[in-house]
């Protein structure tokens, strides 16, 4: 029986701990926060979208360049297995109309409580308010709230420290420096599933901040994202723009401010809109025409004016084209600490098939610490659960092969 330290009590860390403890190892989970699963609880505020029922190839395609590297872990613990795992914890799931999977309770807290009870039943110990600082003389080192160093001996260590989004929930990305100092190559952490900065006019900002845009389409360089968005004080956020956050972020980093097109009526063609607009009654104001004939709310009409700098065209054909392609200037991504998730992290070439660091045998990484990104919709949590399980299974294999030899960390 080996001693396993899991650093980070999010979905990936809890899953790794579950696998190692179920195999009979003595597991201790350590987190710098006062309680476990805070980011999981935050995700639960939106109903806890656990995974998605999309087909295999399309599902893996959501992970972009990292799809091939994540595929073995996700195929070994796919959405169906995750739903079965959750069911074993006493939480039934259901599939929403969009294919997203949720617990029937629509909450994270019952699932988390059940999981922590299961881990306690497996003998897993918990340590809180300890920040991981690296390794000292071959053991995991931490700093407590007083600044004192605490060391915990281990035969294997799983790092599940997350990315750098929502730092107040425990993931601040400080581990990147620690691992880089140990020779591990890290891709810079960047925001993803984030809002973007658009330089609104004072008039538009004052009137429409906080207004939702329902059923719109965002287009950028041949990519299209359907969904909703929200006007913020300094730009846009919401599903439609989150879905394109990676390409938008990278394009801005490469060349500065970019242009995107917003389709305010994706369910109608330009010709259909032009016909509808042409049927308006003489004497109606342009705002009334757009509201009655095109079904546009005030915020959408405001966006049309924002896109052309004020005065709108009067010809139905020209107005229809503008509704289908309002151009907006996007100047920056919102800061990473305001993002839903982060891209970047430990490069996949740094880990073996068991998610063990090649330069630090006996040390495993999983979840958002790895260099991948995915849209919301269940894909984020699925990869975190799957890589956590893969890392836990890697720990079990290593301890079986080495006879519980301590990790090589220095």
Q: How confident is the model at residue 370 (pLDDT cuts 50, 70, 90)?
A: very high
Q: Are 383 and 374 in contact (CB under 8 A)?
A: yes
> Who has greater pLDDT, 236 or 408?
236
Tally the C-alpha atoms within 13 A of residue 336's C-alpha that lie toward its C-beta.
16
In a domain, 408, yes or no: no
- Angle, CA of 347, 66 and 258, to the nearest 5°: 95
Whether residues 8 and 148 fall in one domain: yes
d(CA 283, CA 288): 10
Q: Would you call 38 helix, strand, or coil by DSSP?
A: helix
Confidence check: pLDDT of 332 > 70: yes
Q: Are 389 and 212 in contact (CB under 8 A)?
A: no
Whether residues 158 and 205 fall in one domain: no
Whether residues 347 and 321 fall in one domain: no
C-alpha distances out from residue 263 to 217, 320, 333, 348, Å: 5, 10, 21, 37
In a domain, 410, yes or no: no
d(CA 351, CA 364): 8
How confident is the model at residue 190, as a pLDDT? 97
Structural domain ending residue among the three candidates 273, 301, 333: 333
Whether residues 70 and 140 fall in one domain: yes
Which residues partner with 29 through β-bridges? 6, 126
List of E strands, 212-295:
212-220, 223-232, 235-237, 258-263
CATH number for the domain harbouring residue 291: 2.40.30.10
Q: For residue 159, give the H/E element and its range.
A: strand 156-159
d(CA 40, CA 169): 10
Residue labelled with tokens 């403890």: 21
d(CA 109, CA 95): 19
Contacts of 220 (CB under 8 A, 6+ apart): 244, 247, 248, 251, 258, 260, 261
Q: Count the neighbouring beta carbons within 10 Å of the beta carbon of residue 322.
A: 20
Q: For residue 203, give the H/E element and its range.
A: helix 202-208
The tally of domains found in the chain comes to: 2
d(CA 72, CA 77): 9
Whether residues 69 and 89 fall in one domain: yes
Q: How confident is the model at residue 283 (pLDDT cuts 50, 70, 90)?
A: confident
Tokens of 172: 């601040």
Q: How confident is the model at residue 406 (pLDDT cuts 50, 70, 90)?
A: low
Whether residues 303 and 170 fall in one domain: no
How confident is the model at residue 311, as a pLDDT? 87
Whether residues 306 and 272 fall in one domain: yes
Tally the C-alpha atoms within 13 A of residue 177's C-alpha that lie toward its C-beta.
5
d(CA 314, CA 262): 20
C-alpha distances out from residue 244 to 62, 237, 330, 337, 373, Å: 12, 11, 12, 18, 12
In a domain, 206, yes or no: yes
Q: Which residues span the domain enclosing 174? A: 3-191+341-402
In a domain, 77, yes or no: yes
Whether residues 227 and 181 fall in one domain: no
d(CA 30, CA 215): 43
How confident is the model at residue 405, as a pLDDT? 64
DSSP secondary structure string for all residues of 298-347: HHHHHHHHHHHTSPPP-SHHHHHHHHH-EEEEE-EEPPGGGSSEEEEEE-
Whether residues 187 and 81 fall in one domain: yes
Whether residues 42 and 162 fall in one domain: yes
In a domain, 409, yes or no: no
Buried b vs exposed e over 343-363: b needs ≥16 C-beta within 10 Å?
bbbbebebbeebbbbeebbbb
Which residues partner with 152 through β-bridges? 140
**Range of lowest pLDDT (7-21, 24-38, 76-90, 280-294):** 280-294
How confident is the model at residue 82, as a pLDDT? 98
User: What backbone phi and psi angles, to 5 degrees, belong to 20?
Assistant: -65, -40
Whether residues 147 and 175 fall in one domain: yes
pLDDT tens-digit readout, 111-169: 999 999 999 999 999 999 999 999 988 789 999 999 999 999 999 999 999 999 988 88
Q: How confident is the model at residue 39 (pLDDT cuts 50, 70, 90)?
A: confident
Residue labelled with tokens 């915990």: 152
Whether residues 30 and 84 fall in one domain: yes
How confident is the model at residue 402, as a pLDDT? 87
Q: Count the neighbouring beta carbons within 10 Å of the beta carbon of residue 232.
A: 20
pLDDT tens-digit readout, 184-242: 999 999 999 999 999 999 999 999 999 999 999 999 999 999 999 999 999 999 999 99
Structural domain ending residue among the three candidates 308, 333, 358: 333
How confident is the model at residue 33, as a pLDDT? 95
Q: How confident is the model at residue 410 (pLDDT cuts 50, 70, 90)?
A: low
CATH number for the domain harbouring residue 23: 3.50.50.60
Portion of the chain with pLDDT greater than 70, in percent: 98
Structural domain ending residue among the three candidates 279, 313, 333: 333
Confidence check: pLDDT of 404 > 70: no
How confident is the model at residue 138, as a pLDDT? 76
How confident is the model at residue 1, as a pLDDT? 84
């Amino acid at each position: 029986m080996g001693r396993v330290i899991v650093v980070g009590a999010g979905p990936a860390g809890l899953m790794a701990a579950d696998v190692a403890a179920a195999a009979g190892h003595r597991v201790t989970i350590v987190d710098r926060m006062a309680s476990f699963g805070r980011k999981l609880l935050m995700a639960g505020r939106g109903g806890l979208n656990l995974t998605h029922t999309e087909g295999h190839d399309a599902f893996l395609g959501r992970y972009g360049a990292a799809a091939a590297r994540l595929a073995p872990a996700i195929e070994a613990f796919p959405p169906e297995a995750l739903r079965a795992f959750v069911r074993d914890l006493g939480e039934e799931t259901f599939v929403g109309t969009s294919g997203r999977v949720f617990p029937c309770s629509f909450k994270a807290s019952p699932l988390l409580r059940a999981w922590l009870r299961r881990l306690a039943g497996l003998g897993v110990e918990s340590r809180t308010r300890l920040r991981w600082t690296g390794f000292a003389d071959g053991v995991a080192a931490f700093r407590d709230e007083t600044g004192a160093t605490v060391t915990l001996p281990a035969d294997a260590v799983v790092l599940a420290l997350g990315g750098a989004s929502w730092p107040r929930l425990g993931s601040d990305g400080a581990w990147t420096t620690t691992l880089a100092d140990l020779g591990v190559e890290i891709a810079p952490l960047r925001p993803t599933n984030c809002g973007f900065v658009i330089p609104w006019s004072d008039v538009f900002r004052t009137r429409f901040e906080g207004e939702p845009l329902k059923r719109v389409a965002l287009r950028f360089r041949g990519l299209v994202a359907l969904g909703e968005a929200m006007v913020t004080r300094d730009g846009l956020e919401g599903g439609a723009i989150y879905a394109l956050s990676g390409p938008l972020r990278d394009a801005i980093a490469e060349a500065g401010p970019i242009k995107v097109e917003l389709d305010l009526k994706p369910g109608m063609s330009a010709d259909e809109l032009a016909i509808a607009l042409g049927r308006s009654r003489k004497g109606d104001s342009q705002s009334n025409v757009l509201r009655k004939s095109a079904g546009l709310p005030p915020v959408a009409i405001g966006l049309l004016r924002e896109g052309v700098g004020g005065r709108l065209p009067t010809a139905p054909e020209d107005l229809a084209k503008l509704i289908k392609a309002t151009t907006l200037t996007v100047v920056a991504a919102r800061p990473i600490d305001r993002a839903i998730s982060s891209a970047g992290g430990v490069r996949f070439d740094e880990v073996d098939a068991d998610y063990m660091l090649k330069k630090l045998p006996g040390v495993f990484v999983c979840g958002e610490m790895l260099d991948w990104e995915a849209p919301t919709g269940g894909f984020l949590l699925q990869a975190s659960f799957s890589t956590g399980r893969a890392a836990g299974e890697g720990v079990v294999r290593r301890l079986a092969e080495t006879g519980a030899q301590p990790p090589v960390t220095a």
